[in-house]
Amino acid sequence: MPKCVVCEKFMPSAFMEDTSDKKAHKCQFCIREKDKIEYVKDGKQEIVTKDWVIAEYQKYINSLVRDNKKIRKIVMGDDDQPTH
């Protein structure tokens, strides 16, 4: 789950590149200094915005936490154990 060192947002790794020292990541939006990226998909021009990518990735992460007991336990603690 890479986080951009410039904007400090989490994004899918496909939108990230290593920094020159290979210790961190920069997103394509910060590298290009743009809020949207145009690309061709199946011969059709597409546009994706930074806000959309961030929101969709957050939905994905939330679904992982919700649907995967092991990930939920790591992120939120062990809710299945009774409290004493």
Q: How confident is the model over 24-74, as pLDDT tens digits?
A: 999 999 999 999 999 898 999 999 999 999 999 999 988 988 888 887 787
The structure's pTM equals 0.76
**Using CA atoms, how far apart are residues 14 and 78, in angstroms rounded to an integer?**
31
Look up residue 75 and give its amino acid.
V
Calculated CA dihedral for residues 59, 64, 66, 71, nearest 10 degrees: -140
Under DSSP, is residue 75 helix (H, G, I), strand (E, B) or coil? Answer: helix
**What pLDDT is stored for residue 13 in this prediction?**
92
